[in-house]
């Protein structure tokens, strides 16, 4: 949702202008995001790739705002959580776990991280084949528990089902 950009730390201090076109595709965006979240979740669990986990969590965190947008009540991501938590109770627990993990995530861009890593790669290893995972992992929380990622993934299935039911009831 466009409302998200007003509160995003990643695009500050840039000003972004949008031309908003009213559309009935908000439900479609919600459905597509749900499908993508599950694809990312499956890949994250199989590969334990930090970048995929980050993408999975980032998309997961958008779900409440996209749900409210599909309901016709768009609001910023930061505010969407309290509304959705009231609505869905215990099925919201998976988003709480995702929030805790994301709160510990570094707040700089992926490209900055890569540039820091690539500069150190050539200084420390003339062949350029250092243990990259160790270098990447220092930018992330000390312990990303894959069982937490699995809990989020499983919890999202019931939450998305509940959200889809609610959206169907509204139509």
Same domain, 132 and 113: yes
The answer to whether residues 114 and 99 belong to one domain is no
Residues 44 and 122 reside in one and the same domain: no
Cα Rg of the chain (Å, integer): 18
What domain range is 113 assigned to?
109-139
Which helix (DSSP H) or strand (DSSP E) does residue 144 occupy? none
- My answer on whether 80 and 151 are in the same domain is yes
Same domain, 113 and 49: no
pLDDT digits 0-9 by tens, 52-97: 888 898 889 889 988 988 888 888 888 888 888 888 877 788 888 9
**Letter string b/e over residues 50-72, b meaning 16 or more CB atoms within 10 A of that residue's CB:** bebbbbbbebbbbbbbbbbbbbe
Query: In which residue are the tokens 């930090």 written?
Result: 50
- Would residue 40 count as lying in a domain? yes
This model's pTM is above 0.85: no
* 84 shares its domain with 125: no
Q: Are residues 73 and 154 in the same domain?
A: yes
Q: Which residue bears the tokens 């990259």?
A: 132
Q: How many domains does the structure of the chain reveal?
A: 2
Beta strands in the chain (DSSP E): none
Helix locations, 14-71, DSSP H? 26-47, 50-70
Residue 18 maps to a domain: no
Low-confidence spans in the chain with pLDDT less than 70: 1-14, 16, 18-24, 106-144, 171
């Amino acid at each position: 949702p466009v409302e998200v950009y007003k509160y995003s730390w990643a695009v500050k201090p840039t000003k972004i202008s949008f031309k908003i076109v009213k559309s009935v595709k908000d439900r479609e965006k919600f459905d597509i995001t749900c499908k993508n979240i599950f694809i990312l979740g499956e890949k994250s669990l199989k590969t334990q790739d930090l970048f995929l986990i980050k993408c999975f969590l980032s998309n997961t965190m958008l779900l409440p705002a996209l749900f409210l947008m599909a309901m016709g009540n768009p609001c910023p991501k930061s505010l969407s959580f309290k509304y959705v938590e009231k609505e869905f109770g215990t099925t919201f627990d998976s988003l709480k776990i995702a929030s805790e993990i994301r709160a510990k995530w570094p707040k700089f861009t992926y490209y900055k991280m890569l540039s820091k890593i690539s500069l150190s790669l050539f200084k420390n290893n003339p062949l350029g084949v250092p243990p990259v995972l160790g270098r990447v992992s220092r930018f992330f929380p000390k312990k990303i528990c894959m069982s937490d990622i699995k809990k989020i993934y499983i919890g999202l299935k019931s939450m998305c089902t509940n959200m889809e039911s609610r959206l169907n009831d509204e139509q």
